[in-house]
Structure 1
């Protein structure tokens, strides 16, 4: 009876090893079930908040159509404030979800490492047992078991268990590496979301500025539609006068060599904001341009629909040549806050009507880097991005005292405006 028990001990070892592994793997599973329920709840919350944000954006777009009236402008500002607040809640919920995902992955990694360590110890014990069996003389081995068949079966079982556990350790190592990669991805995702939360903090600051603008607007108009229309007329008069001054300055620039700019080809530049992209005004002699908006000139760029606070990206690698704010010299008459970037391919790009500038002159940027946030500074009937492409050698950044406003401003001028759509991918 003792020899039979000795012959069967490898099976008891197997049961012990596998039982511990199964028990250890069950613990994180139960913990992760709880975390997964919390993640599912966050997903539902995010879905609800995203629907809320979309509703506020729809309301903002509707109000934007009425922005030529005083009440329409106020509605547009209020709807924009609500949209930003809703987007902030979405981002915070996503950050909470990511932290839960990281917590679950951390539990899985710890449990897997524990299982690997336990299996290594048992594997070492099995190796020692096999080595001890190999050192036994045939006579000792024969006396230990009741038959040669039992002796060889015990040795074979030890070898089988050693191979089985080695395979399991290999699998668990792969699981651990996979889980660590997932944890790295989740932490990167959290970093992205934290960055987005920072952007939303910027946008919240901008909304505070808009609230101030709202107050200023009501003060200037005394909440009267007639006074608002008079204000718009005065803005239009200043814009037209400044436009003529700039035309004169640009006419004095030396001609540029068209052979220095790259041939038109999609993909030379990337779209300067995330989709969906909506072009609200094309380049050149558009209907709005033909209405006299640019003193008989064509539209020198393209306009993209962009709610206040939308991240604006560099269209290509390059160096920021200059930034500025024409509102400091002539309020609501030109580009407002703008960024000019020079690119190695002999193009320069301009991003105008920004609400916030995120770069500085001399700074190197890569394609897709955030350089600012969209807005409605300068001459803008509503929030959007004005995107212009120049031949790089044709652009000059000047400090100019406007006759119509009487104050200094910094702005880029050129006599070589190019159609951005020639260098962008088709929508």
Structure 2
């Protein structure tokens, strides 16, 4: 009896303390819901970070949150593709079965259709009741065939739709992976530029703010200008400043086209077919940068080969780097080349100008093109 009690005691102890823990596998819908919730949390966190003070640690935290958010979106998209793949496999199986069934029925229905005429049924049937039964049977077969055809057509439509959705998701996945790579690169570039030093980061921000404010003031007509005289297409009007300055992080020409008070996309005026290198994205030659798409007929203000650093509008740099803290729209194009010479893109009247306070002044030249309501501005230059 004592042995039985001991055995029962061991069983009870095993049940309460050593029992296995069974965890239900996470379903596809549960996984997608969990990922959606995590994405929402990181989007909220990113929103809070963007509203906080502009410090290096905050910017790095933003990059980390963006990277995590994009990683979650990639996982979500991959899960959707996997789920859709299962549905497509099921549809393929169903489509194959329906096609086989329909094909086999076609032959039989064709044979029966030859007896579709009532008088033929009467001739080939032994009596009237048999003819009526045959007629009703044929009607049921035809009705079943129509139903089978409808199901087959619906399965084909569903299959095409699901395949289209899968291709769309695949494209979305590739785009998300590209964004993730760009975000990681942007973080690495920031750490390299600042050497993880807050003071250097604030200096970079100050230079970009100074440049942005000066350009906005110049566009508003607040620059100090003097008229130089007439210039023709291709005439030298300035040279690009070499190296960084108080309102520029490096050598480049900021080229603006203005119509009245509004800036225009320079690519709508500059000619295509020139030699260039696109360095407007995560790295020179990467596929994530701003599009280089000139469609006009004007000559370029600098000699090729053009190094294209930033485009017009909501650029890659605005969307992916810390400059987005200063401005959301780039009002010109940033370009450079081996030559520092800057040339007029059209005939007009040349003005030399500058804007700023103390020793930090942004120098520029402006050409008023008298044959139109356009003028062109060339910034970060020496006269």
TM-score, scaled relative to structure 2: 0.54
| Correspondence 1:374 to 2:318 | yes
Give per-residue Cα distances to partners, 1:72-104, cap 9 Å, x unaligned.
Answer: x22222222222222222221232133124313
Assess, with a 3 A threshold, how the Cα gap between structure 1 residues 139 and 128 changes in structure 2: closer, same or farther.
closer
Taking the aligned partners of 2:174 and 2:332, their CA distance within structure 1 comes to 32
How many angstroms does 1:253 deviate by? 7.8
Instruction: Name the residue aligned to 1:330.
Output: 244
Q: Tell me which of 78, 81, 84 is aligned to 1:96.
A: 78
How many angstroms does 1:198 deviate by? 0.6
Unaligned runs of 5+ in 2: 1-25, 231-239, 268-279, 283-287, 297-311, 334-344, 376-383
Give per-residue Cα distances to partners, 1:197-256, cap 9 Å, x unaligned.
Answer: 2122112111111122342535x66xxxxxx98x5899599869x87999778654889x
Assess, with a 3 A threshold, how the Cα gap between structure 1 residues 58 and 102 changes in structure 2: closer, same or farther.
same
Taking the aligned partners of 1:53 and 1:193, their CA distance within structure 2 comes to 19
Would the aligned equivalents of 1:347 and 1:389 in 2 still touch at CA under 8 Å? Answer: yes
Would the aligned equivalents of 2:63 and 2:187 in 1 still touch at CA under 8 Å? Answer: yes
Taking the aligned partners of 1:233 and 1:199, their CA distance within structure 2 comes to 23
Q: Tell me which of 25, 33, 43 is aligned to 1:43.
A: 33
How many angstroms does 1:60 deviate by? 3.7
| Correspondence 1:359 to 2:290 | yes
Assess, with a 3 A threshold, how the Cα gap between structure 1 residues 206 and 327 changes in structure 2: closer, same or farther.
farther
Assess, with a 3 A threshold, how the Cα gap between structure 1 residues 370 and 138 changes in structure 2: closer, same or farther.
same
How many angstroms does 1:414 deviate by? 6.9
Taking the aligned partners of 1:233 and 1:168, their CA distance within structure 2 comes to 68
Would the aligned equivalents of 1:116 and 1:173 in 2 still touch at CA under 8 Å? Answer: no
Structure holding more helix per residue: 1
| Correspondence 1:57 to 2:47 | yes
Give per-residue Cα distances to partners, 1:120-156, cap 9 Å, x unaligned.
Answer: 31242133244368797856521xxxx4213321232
Would the aligned equivalents of 2:314 and 2:329 in 1 still touch at CA under 8 Å? Answer: no
| Correspondence 1:163 to 2:143 | yes
Q: Tell me which of 61, 64, 84 is aligned to 1:82.
A: 64
Instruction: Name the residue aligned to 2:380.
Output: none
Instruction: Name the residue aligned to 1:211.
Output: 191
Q: CA RMSD in A?
A: 5.6
Secondary structure of the structure 2 residue equivalent to 1:333: coil
Secondary structure of the structure 2 residue equivalent to 1:388: coil
What is the count of residue pairs matched by the alignment? 281
Instruction: Name the residue aligned to 1:189.
Output: 169
Give per-residue Cα distances to partners, 1:21-75, cap 9 Å, x unaligned.
Answer: xxxxxxxxxxxxxxx941442232132133123213312421xx2x3xxxxx222
Would the aligned equivalents of 2:99 and 2:152 in 1 still touch at CA under 8 Å? Answer: yes
How many angstroms does 1:173 deviate by? 0.8
Assess, with a 3 A threshold, how the Cα gap between structure 1 residues 159 and 375 changes in structure 2: closer, same or farther.
closer
Assess, with a 3 A threshold, how the Cα gap between structure 1 residues 161 and 37 changes in structure 2: closer, same or farther.
farther
Secondary structure of the structure 2 residue equivalent to 1:103: helix
Taking the aligned partners of 2:185 and 2:205, their CA distance within structure 1 comes to 29
How many angstroms does 1:375 deviate by? 6.1
Would the aligned equivalents of 1:94 and 1:193 in 2 still touch at CA under 8 Å? Answer: no
Assess, with a 3 A threshold, how the Cα gap between structure 1 residues 232 and 48 changes in structure 2: closer, same or farther.
closer
After TM superposition, the structure 1 = structure 2 runs for residues 229-378 of structure 1, keeping only pairs within 5 Å, are 251-252=226-227, 329-331=243-245, 333-334=247-248, 348-349=264-265, 358-359=289-290, 361-363=292-294, 371-374=315-318
TM-score, scaled relative to structure 1: 0.49
Give per-residue Cα distances to partners, 1:344-385, cap 9 Å, x unaligned.
Answer: 99961489xx875823655459xx99752316989x693532
Secondary structure of the structure 1 residue equivalent to 2:61: helix
Assess, with a 3 A threshold, how the Cα gap between structure 1 residues 82 and 156 changes in structure 2: closer, same or farther.
same
